[in-house]
Structure 1
Amino acid sequence: MEVFERVFWAFGPCIDGFKHCMPVICIDGTHLYGKYKGTLLVATSVNASFQVFPLAFAVVEGENTSSWSWFLGCIRDRVTQRDGLCVISDRHPGIIAAINDPNVGFTEPRAYHRFCVRHIASNLNTHVRSNDMRDMFKAAAYQRQERKLQVDLCFIGEACTKAMEYIAQVLFTMWSLFHDNGRRYGICTTNFSKTFNNVLKGARFLPIMSLVELTFHRVNKYFTLRRESSEARSDQGLPYPTKVTAILEKNTAKARYHRVDAYIVVCIFTK
């Protein structure tokens, strides 16, 4: 008797397009419902417009070290050999074990693992039962200056020692933008994977073959809409996507209040 175990799939345009995306991969799993049980694993990236970019899919028996190792291994084998990738995920033990396995292909420096800030904030809220601590942690995680980060952490420590003790258990590099060394490209959550799960709304109730076929049609439609949007901006003479334009305008406005002082440094060497 043959029993279905796992299936992995990725589409050619997704594989080719990822070469032009940020070197960031968000991974997440969601349960299948209906007659056919299992877990749908999804890997997404982020394009230059800061929009979700579907990358790869798999249906497995559940979330564990073996299934995550297999899924990530398939991505390395079939999708990308890019080095310096940043993988953003929740803190599922299976994901952590898979990424720490050198045979899978995602150990440093080939890839760098980072945690989803939203998941840590949610777990912190459950631990201390305080929405304020959750929001203060998220604010600290997004800080890009050490001074501002330290101020936020001091506020948390003074307000709730238990919250600070919980945060201290997680390495700064795993959640703090300031300590990130630019690996995340400003992406702090796995919301991109969650967003694409909405694109697949209704798919989790389908048989496996129908699920694969639906992802094909949804991805095709998704790319078509993005292409039409890009062509429309080009026809209007707009050089950058809406999100990028907003970032440039915000930074330009902020820079008006900055002052740059030039210094001449003289070095004197003596024997």
Structure 2
Amino acid sequence: MKINPGNTLLTKNRLDNISEHDRHRQHYLDVVQAFSRLSYESIYIIDYSNMSFEYVSDNPLFLCGHTADEVLQLGYEFYFRHVPAADLELLSILNDAGFDFYAALPEKERKQYSISYDFHLTSRAGKQILVNHRLTPLFLTTEGKIWKSMCMVSLSSQQKSGNVRIFKQGSNDIWKLNLETRKWIKSAKPVLTDRELEVLRMYAQGFSISQIAEKIFVAPDTIKYYRRRIFERLEVSNIADALAQAVNNRLV
């Protein structure tokens, strides 16, 4: 599939015009900026009416050598410059599939859903990092189309691009995108026991195996058993990835 800057990545959500009713919104960017100051993650506000960014966090890790103002001016051209061709195709596929998914939802529920996926960014120096994007609708038009979205960017806990997931607020359901068939497969979030969550939270606080064992009055080998069970349930191989998965799945 050939992709060039003349194409958009979001053909399923073309907005021809925005009504005055839709434009009459309370100003919210001060709140976004305040939240950005409190988070290590980068925040983007995407405006689908003109395929631009309304806000970009000043976080150099995800700007590929640009300033936030430069990325703001580049808009989606930023991705054409800094995302490898294979991952651009991935973004095109997941956006088509994602907007098809949203279009099938009852309009009143659309803001309850968010999408997560991983892809590479290449800096101007040629170095690649794997990042995670999580998007959720911010404003809908009166016709129910997504007008603006909030995107949070962080380092990915995965090993490769893809990992496309849709989550619903207040639900244990997850929809995973099969990139070959381009179909969504419904599954459930991984579940940890109360004890496993307790152990994981203590790892997040920086406690060692022996310290955790002392705090919950068990042997260190029992903590190692809980850790193995956590890895199995979250399908990871180390505690850093376990914590990242738990956060991404809103388990802790």
Query: TM-score if structure 1 supplies the norm length?
Result: 0.28
Bigger RCO (CA 8 Å, 6+ sep): 1
Of structures 1 and 2, the larger Rg is shown by 1
Higher strand share: 2
Higher helix share: 1
Query: TM-score if structure 2 supplies the norm length?
Result: 0.29
